């Protein structure tokens, strides 16, 4: 176990880079096309200003919260991301163990390099969610969901922002493919055509086009709701209109642009959030809203929660801390978020998650030109 | 034939540079004066955010469209640009062949290094348009238009943003001139004073001042309409007032700032487009609007179409792909646009060109300061 | 005594760097986390434009002003900052002497490396204020305040923006600690647990968490007011709501974000000031407002005063000029501010401090787009 | 005579730098303090967009205009600038000769290194104006004005933005002083205390403080008007309020911030102009408005004129072209402006100066977010 100290979440990336092949590092890091949205996901947070209240009389800070009825130690879940065995030998098994230790949600990706059962067995009591891509062959999808239920996954996050895979130029250049000793264990366990082999351009792009159904529609969401008892979450909602539609179907909402990896020049997620919250305001008792994308600072988390998100999720920080130091890296990364959040909430004058609200964001700075 | 793979349209420029003289490369690349507009033509696209809808149930994407009654395989035409023989030995013959294979419009420039007839013969069935500069000697202009009609060109695009040629500083420095073995075949076939010889500053600038009529006016447009049956397009419209005037005369509108090569510090073309669309709203059944300038991404095309353009045109991407790999380069460049557009439309939730509309652009991001 | 000439306040930093250990320099320079607010504190001033009036008929400029009934030679006080003996051998004794010579306020930090009595004895007649952190053990706080009264300090500035210490990444990396030959003389004279020893991360961060009371509240302010006759100032007010609350309790207001060292991504202080002034408008006869943060230019001072601040304070310019050349450095630094202010007021058309007002700031530049 | 070709006005600076001492180059180049306004004077022009009209039917372009009843060949005058003999051996004699050849205004600075009479004799028929600083000793000022009248200067431009000289840090560092073989011939011919000798910091700053009257006021303007028949212009007006006051006294208005050399963080001049034009709208028949600052492009000139300025003035372009190649350099520089203006007006659709108006500026680009 390394005794390297990290002073912020960004620093795991440098360490990770040392341990990853260029093929893997590029796959983890990249965004779609010119990566405008990838950058904006991060930059947008510095445009939003916090509004601190003093003399708040807070003894300490409580970061716990409740998501879909389950208690989390910190309002930061692990977003689904593919292929953890490229980052660390035991891959998803390491991740689920870290999530259990932290006390937060682990969302297992359909594109994992470990199968659903092994992950479940590794940490039966972990707060596991399952992320679903809807296959052209709906039978496969149905069986997968039933399997998730059987293995104690607590929610189904259907990814709706990826009818096609986005074009990531680095992966095109590298003709990205899974290292030969690894497999998409979950998908291939259902059908072996799901393999990722790079020939022309990105192999993942090709597999997607062949096997995942771009024609997935709102009807499929109803169908899913019809046969599973698990809460359903739509991961990929990006505007108020779709958010309302989701809420009306009784599914939860995960605001994301897939970490800037799908459609370039869409808004940063934090810029989408106010519109989404506004659209579903009549459903706030029954529908939860989550958000991910570019969250690297304790203050980023607070801004999302102040706008109304129930919790946030992280993608690359998980991957890079995992690649840097395995389970230990993930724990260190969460400790950093915890410390930053606690200090920031103390300075903001908010003692617990439910205290956070719009008042903690600067709504109107009076410019001199308006005096 | 090279097997070099390009992952985006920008990459052709580097390859082209290797094959071009500095004289030619500078001529192709440059914009007017400080090149503010040249840069802004490109930058403006990243300021406009796409608004994707999920669960759209699309099986695949249809990029075909209809322009002036003709079917295109993709809503991207080839803008007129001068002197293709500096880029590739057979010059415009190569371009027209590529256009035919792609299934899109090729606009032949008045300043071509191949004459109208040879281009026509090379691809009699290609969707050829002819770009016209109005000469001081109107007789020449009239004969040229008749010749275009005779040779099966399908429309006349009159360039109205170039009463004088803009000042491109690189060409001034290089004293730009055509290589001695080339000629402005079209113009010189009508009158040999159209030759481009650099003495003081840019030779093209001087030829223009001598031979092209700066005093061209709306009367000339009426005159043109009076004797040709071909559709007339005004290439160079840059605001709503002129657009309305054009629409009232029954001519089509090509919004362009000539690729930032004429008047520096005018708006980017995508910033002109809403005003133009608004101005001609009563004529949208009869008048088509096209736009060019800085289009390098599939998403750029979608933004133009969502605002109401019928199709877009590209200048430098054609020249650089032509210089990089001749016909092959042009085909590869169009394939890239096609792939980017298809992925983007799938992610946007629009299955065909006519589905695109304002709803696919972010109209109002609620800033935190407005909550 | 060095005869080095400085042409602006920024230049002291380079000189200081030569004389400081990396440990000390980093501590002085740093801001919290990504240092957005640190940078914005400075940048914000260049966004505010001055509006000069000509032909003002001013013979000369009078910079004197009155703060809490005391006359200052210049409306720039010295903000409290910790540990001056890291900058210069006699530390706070040098600072208080310089302040006396300049004729302005010196605010002694609780975290000084010289005790309250020695500072008082060094310059009994200096305009000394005392900055207070509220200790977990309130007895200590009470004794400290009584001591300040006894020793002729003229006001108590309670720092309210630091229930926890902000995270300064440089200090975390350096495991910041006081050099062994130095002590927090004031705090340790009351209780020796206040020592700063770096183990894991910043030693100051740890001392703070152990000894300073994060639960400090508005009740404590009332309690303080109840037993001291000295004017009380809340240092750390950052919005209008808290400002009003302070004004209602009859305490003065020091708008600051602690030099960008506490909560990152809060507004620059000059962006907070209009909201604060507006909120306390009914109390402007009794409550004074001060501001600090990023003030490096004579024009920065004028902008604060034009918005309604009674005077400004400086942190790092004091530390860097002190480290550069001790007392002499501080005097040179104030001379620079004096010269810049006098020239700027002459050019602005304002002859004395009380002439400054909103009219000297550009309220509305008519953009061409509004003509 | 050099046959070096310049393709834009900026290029003279590089050439000038080769011929100038560092002392002189820095003096010419610098702006006040952090040079925010210096930079913004130039940058502001690229924020204003031109709005071109096509098919304007213009044969050629007429750049002539009338200022104070005198015909200019081009609407660009020469602003007063000090000490031309640092740039070229015959100094102001060369400048006035160039101005005569160009057919435009030459404003002789009070700080010239050639006396008023020699300049007048060199070019008796040139359109000469005289720039005045009001000396502490008003007698000197009065005599100077009478001398200007006697020698055929056609207007008095009183500089009102320099009660003190601005702080230019480069000059402070260089302890700027006139080279020993040169003198402020005009001022010293009236009183020898006007000499510029650098001791501590800038020598010009010190001379100013000693000899020029900061207490100059609107009364002095009335006094000036009372005894001279020459038109009076206030050079340094920076807002609408002062502009109105000037107009009411019947003097003309020169909007300038002294090339960013006086008060830093004032607006760029082009950002001041709309407010000034609006304020004096009832006086537009009798009062002329000029503007200078950062004008380097033909399009910059057009933007000023479109907003209502009668003509513009240039400072550094004159100095740098003069230092680059003497008279020849100045003529080349004006030729560049002439070419850029002619091309730009042709492309804009404006055939003569009086055609220019607000319609040639983009007033409202409809952002997508407003559709
Ligand atoms: C390397 C990588 C792989 C990903 N794989 C998936 C996936 O399999 N399924 C999915 O729904 N999202 C996937 N995502 C998106 C993440 O769930 C999440 O939305 C995104 O990473 C959040 O942005 P961040 O990386 O800036 O935190 C992936 C993201 C990355 C970076
Ligand atoms: C090298 C070059 C030559 C051009 N020649 C012509 C021309 O002869 N006639 C014309 O109307 N437009 C001409 N154009 C303008 C193009 O038709 C088109 O408006 C512009 O290139 C679009 O911008 P883009 O290059 O950013 O795609 C030329 C553009 C370039 C770059
Ligand atoms: C090194 C350093 C130490 C500081 N120590 C204290 C302190 O002990 N108490 C306090 O109230 N503020 C402290 N401050 C904050 C200053 O009082 C002041 O608010 C801030 O420095 C102003 O910003 P400026 O440095 O940009 O001028 C400190 C600031 C610095 C830079
Ligand atoms: C080196 C230099 C000397 C100047 N001397 C004078 C002067 O003696 N009197 C005056 O009124 N303005 C003076 N000015 C200001 C100019 O008249 C003019 O306002 C300014 O240079 C315009 O900005 P520009 O240099 O960006 O064109 C001077 C400017 C420069 C650059």
User: What pLDDT digit, counting tens, does each position of A61-78 carry?
Assistant: 999 999 999 999 999 999
B20 closest CA partner among B79, B95, B85: B85
Say which of C84, C181, C252, C258 is annotated catalytic. Answer: C258
B247 near D CB under 8 A: no
Give the dihedral of Cα atoms C221, C225, C228, C229; nearest 10 deg: 140
Contact yes or no for B348 and A241 at CB 8 A: no
Report the alpha-carbon distance of residue A226 to residue A235 in Å, rounded.
Answer: 18
Distance from residue B62's CA to the centre of ligand 4 (Å): 62
H-state helical runs in D255-297: 269-279
**Pairwise CB contact (< 8 Å): C220 & A55:** yes
User: D278: pLDDT confidence band, cut at 50, 70 and 90?
Assistant: very high
Which candidate from B5, B58, B344 shows the least CB-CB separation from A214? B58
Of D338, D316, D332, D323, the C-alpha closest to D80 is D316
The answer to whether C348 and C52 are in contact (CB under 8 A) is yes
- What would the pLDDT profile of D23-65 be if each residue is shown by its tens digit? 999 999 999 999 999 999 999 999 999 999 999 999 999 999 9
Please name the residues between 274 and 313 in chain D that touch chain B, using a CB distance below 8 Å: 297, 299
Residues A265-298 as b/e (b if ≥16 CB within 10 A, e otherwise) read bbbbbbbbbbbbbebbeebeeebbbbbbbbbbbb
pLDDT value at D141 more than 70: yes
Higher pLDDT, B1 or B215: B215
Interchain touch D–A (≥3 Cβ pairs closer than 8 Å): no
Give CA–CA dist C313/C335, Å, rounded: 15
Task: Please judge whether C264 and A299 are an interchain contact, meaning their C-beta atoms are less than 8 angstroms apart.
Answer: yes
Chain C: residue whose CA lies nearest to A364: C275
Q: Are strands D252-255 and D232-237 parallel, antiparallel or unpaired?
A: parallel
Cβ neighbour number for residue D59 with a 10 Å cutoff: 11
> Is pTM, for the whole model, over 0.95?
yes
For the segment D215-271, what is each residue's pLDDT rounded down to a tens digit? 999 999 999 999 999 999 999 999 999 999 999 999 999 999 999 999 999 999 999
Q: Contact, D313 vs D293, CB < 8 A?
A: no
pLDDT at B198 over 90: no
In a 13 Å sphere around the CA of A311, the CA atoms on its Cβ side amount to: 23
Q: Output the ligand 1 site: residues, CB below 6 A.
A: A 27-28, 41, 79-82, 109, 111, 131, 159, 235, 256, 258-259, 261, 292-295, 314-316, 319
pLDDT tens digits, B258-298: 999 999 999 999 999 999 999 999 999 999 999 999 999 99
The chain-wide mean pLDDT, for chain B, equals 96
Residue C9, CB half-sphere, CA atoms under 13 Å: how many? 26
Residue D19's φ and ψ, nearest 5 degrees, are -95, -10
Ligand nearest to the CA of D20: 4
Cα Rg, chain D, nearest whole Å: 20
- C300-310 tens-digit pLDDT: 999 999 999 99
- ipTM above 0.85? yes
State the catalytic residue, choosing from A84, A252, A258, A360.
Answer: A258
**Half-sphere exposure (Cβ direction) of C151: Cα atoms closer than 13 Å:** 22
Q: Is pLDDT above 90 for C241?
A: yes
CB contact under 8 A, C55 and D218: yes
- Report helix, strand or coil for C10: coil
Using a CB–CB cutoff of 8 Å, tell me whether B172 touches chain D: yes
How is A68-82 classified by DSSP, letter by letter? TTEEESSSEEEPP-S
Give me the residue label for tokens 């002590």.
C183
Q: Which residues contact C206 (CB under 8 A, 6 or more apart)?
A: C197, C198, C199, C200
Contact state of A238 with B46 under an 8 Å Cβ cutoff: no
Whole-angstrom Cα distance, residue C233 to residue C157? 5
Distances (CA, A) of C217 to A346, B153, D321: 12, 82, 66
- Angle at A312 (CA atoms; ends A308, A317), nearest 5 degrees: 150
* C317-366: pLDDT as tens digits: 999 999 999 999 999 999 999 999 999 999 999 999 999 999 999 988 88
Is residue A1 scored above 70 in pLDDT?
no
How far apart, in Å, do the first and last CA atoms of chain D sit? Answer: 58
Output the average pLDDT for chain D. Answer: 96
> How far apart (Å, rounded) are the C-alpha atoms in residues B46 and A264?
9
Q: Is D81 in the pocket of ligand 4 (CB under 6 A)?
A: yes
Whose alpha carbon is nearest atom 14 of ligand 4? Answer: D81
Task: Test D343 with B173 for CB contact under 8 angstroms.
Answer: no
Partners of D356 on chain B (C-beta within 8 Å) are none
Predicted confidence at residue A256, as pLDDT, reads: 98
Residue A294 above 80 pLDDT?
yes
Bridging pattern class, strands D65-67 and D70-72: antiparallel
Task: Give the C-alpha distances (Å, rounded to integers) separating C219 from C135, C201, C225, C251.
Answer: 14, 33, 10, 13
Question: Judged by CB atoms within 8 Å, which residues 10-69 of D form the interface with C?
Answer: 33-34, 36, 48
User: How far, in Å, from the CA of A181 to the mean position of ligand 1?
Assistant: 22
Q: What is the average per-residue pLDDT within D325-339? A: 98
Give the residues surrounding ligand 2 with Cβ less than 6 Å away: B 27-28, 41, 79-82, 109, 111, 131, 159, 235, 256, 258-259, 261, 292-295, 314-316, 319
State residue B114's pLDDT score: 98
Angle (CA) A256-A257-A258 rounded to 5° is 90
Q: Considering only CA atoms, which of A258, A315, A337, A295 is closest in space to residue A106?
A: A315
pLDDT band with cut points at 50, 70 and 90 for residue A165:
very high
**Pick from C8, C58, C371: which is nearest to D358 by CB?**
C371
- The burial of B3, by beta-carbon neighbours within 10 Å (0-12 exposed, 13-18 middle, 19 or more buried), is given as exposed
CA B332 / ligand 2 centre spacing (Å): 20
Contact D49 B267 (CB under 8 A): yes
d(CA B12, CA B25): 12
Cα of D204 to nearest chain C Cα, Å: 14
Contacts of A369 in chain C (CB under 8 A): 362-365
Phi, then psi, of B349 in degrees rounded to 5: 85, 30
Taking contacts as CB-CB distances below 8 angstroms, the residues of chain A near C215 are 57-59
> Residues of D62-93 as b/e, b for ≥16 C-beta within 10 angstroms?
ebebebbeeebebbbbbbbbbbbbbbbebbbb
Residue that the structure tokens 């030679």 belong to: C73
Ligand 4 atom nearest D42 alpha carbon: 26
- What does the DSSP 8-state code read for residue D107? E
pLDDT digits (tens, 9 = 90+) for C94-129: 999 999 999 999 999 999 999 999 999 999 999 999
Q: Which of B84, B252, B258, B360 is catalytic?
A: B258
d(CA C232, CA C158): 7
Tell me, yes or no, if B181 is annotated catalytic: no
- In this prediction, residue A199 has a pLDDT band, given cuts at 50, 70 and 90, of confident
> Mean per-residue pLDDT for C71-84?
98
Summarised one tens digit per residue, pLDDT across range D180-203 is 999 999 999 998 888 888 777 788
Q: HSE of C189 in the Cβ direction (CA atoms, 13 Å)?
A: 17
- Tokens, residue C136: 């977990």
CA distances from B206 to B171, B195, B199, B202, D52 (A): 12, 10, 9, 7, 22
D215·C343 Cβ contact <8 A? no
pLDDT of residue C1: 59
Give strand pairing partners of B127. B105
Q: How far apart are the first and last CA of chain C?
A: 58
- Is the model's pLDDT at B171 over the cut of 80? yes
- Spatial distance between the Cα atoms of D81 and D320, rounded to a whole number of angstroms: 11
pLDDT at A242: 98
Chain B hits for A363, Cβ within 8 Å: 368-371
When pLDDT is averaged across residues D6-17 and rounded to a whole number, the result is 98
């Amino acid at each position: 176990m390394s005794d390297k100290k990290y002073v912020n979440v960004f620093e795991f990336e440098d360490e990770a880079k040392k341990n990853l092949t260029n093929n893997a590092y590029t796959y983890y890091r990249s965004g779609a096309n010119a990566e405008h949205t990838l950058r904006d996901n991060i930059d947008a947070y510095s445009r939003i200003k916090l509004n601190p209240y003093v003399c708040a009389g807070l003894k300490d800070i409580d970061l716990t919260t409740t998501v879909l009825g389950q208690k989390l130690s910190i309002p930061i879940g692990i977003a689904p991301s593919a292929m953890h065995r490229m980052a660390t030998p035991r891959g998803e098994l390491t991740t689920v163990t870290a999530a259990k230790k932290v006390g937060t949600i682990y969302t297992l990706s359909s594109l994992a390099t470990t199968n659903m059962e092994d992950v479940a067995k590794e940490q039966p009591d972990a707060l596991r969610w399952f992320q679903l891509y809807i296959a052209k062959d709906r039978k496969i999808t149905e069986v997968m969901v039933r399997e998730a239920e059987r293995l104690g996954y607590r929610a189904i996050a259907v990814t709706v922002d990826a009818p096609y895979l986005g074009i990531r130029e680095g992966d095109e250049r590298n003709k990205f493919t899974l290292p030969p000793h690894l497999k998409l264990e979950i998908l291939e366990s259902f059908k072996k055509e799901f393999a990722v082999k790079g020939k022309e351009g990105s192999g993942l792009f090709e597999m997607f086009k062949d096997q995942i159904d771009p024609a997935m529609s709102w009807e499929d969401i109803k169908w899913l709701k019809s046969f599973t008892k698990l809460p359903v979450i739509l991961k990929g909602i990006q505007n108020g209109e779709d958010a309302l539609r989701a809420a009306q179907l009784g599914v939860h909402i995960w605001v994301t642009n897939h970490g800037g990896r799908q459609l370039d020049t869409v808004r940063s997620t934090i810029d989408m959030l106010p519109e989404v919250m506004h659209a579903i305001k009549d459903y706030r008792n029954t529908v939860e809203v989550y958000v991910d994308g570019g969250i690297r600072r304790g203050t980023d988390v607070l801004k999302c929660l102040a706008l109304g998100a129930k919790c946030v999720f992280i993608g690359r920080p998980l991957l890079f801390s995992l690649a840097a130091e395995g389970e230990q890296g993930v724990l260190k990364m969460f400790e950093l978020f915890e410390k930053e959040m606690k200090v920031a909430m103390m300075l903001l004058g908010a003692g617990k998650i439910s205290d956070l609200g719009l008042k903690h964001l600067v709504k109107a700075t009076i410019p001199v030109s308006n005096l």
